[in-house]
Amino acid sequence: MMAVATIERDAELMLRVREGDTQSFAVLLEKYRGPVIHFLQRMILNQAVAEELAQEVFLRVYRSRANYEPTAKFTTWLYRIASHLALNHIRDRRHERNQESLDEEVSEGMGRQVASLGPTIEQTLVRESKFVEIRQAIQNLPAKQRAAVLMHKYEEMEYSHIATALECSESAVKSLLFRAYEGLRAKLAHMGGLEEEIR
């Protein structure tokens, strides 16, 4: 019941934006800016670029306000825009992205190790190397498989919403996810016990 209320609330807010209510747009921006940045950061592994792309996502949402119709969940429409931008960025900047990914992983890892006071340095290094390896395995998936995994695993979106966001059928989404998870299991099999982390 809560999910239905959320859907109606977001669509209602966007309809108000369509009528010129900038305060409603501010509410949507506040609510979804963080999740969209998080999704984009996982897609391209670069926080600064993710923030820039997120700005472009919301700029496109605002520019599209006059044509908005609540035919799908607001979040599905939002993630379709974010997915397009991320996939275009990956396609256009493939070589540059690979270098940025490596730099970002090194700096992220170092920051987490210093900030962590609980586990020993060795435990932290082992855990961090696992996270880096999982992130890299996800990053190495074909772009559409990666987008499907991130929406399914990290954004907890349903197949139907992922299908709408990626503009394909639900069976195509299931196929993308099956191939992605099989590939991840094969690449990460040496780590053992990672079912929950990649599913």
Phi and psi at residue 68, to the nearest 5°: -65, 130
CATH topology of domain 142-199: Arc Repressor Mutant, subunit A (1.10.10)
Note whether 62 and 17 are within 8 A (CB).
Answer: yes
Cβ atoms of 198 and 153 within 8 Å: the answer is: yes
pLDDT value, residue 127: 74
Closest CA relative to residue 44, chosen from 89, 82, 81: 89
**CATH number of the domain at 1-92, please?**
1.10.1740.10
- The contacts of residue 83 (CB under 8 Å, 6+ apart) are 147, 151, 165, 166
If pLDDT is split at 50, 70 and 90, which confidence band does 97 have?
A: very low
What pLDDT sits at residue 90? 86
How confident is the model at residue 198, as a pLDDT? Answer: 56
Query: Can you tell me the distance from the alpha carbon of 130 to that of 191, in angstroms, rounded to the nearest whole number?
Result: 8
Q: Name which of 10-14, 64-68, 151-155, 190-194 the model is least confident about.
A: 190-194
Whole-model pTM over 0.85: no
Could you tell me the residue ranges of all domains in the chain? 1-92, 99-140, 142-199
d(CA 188, CA 190): 5
One fold for 1-92 and 142-199 = no
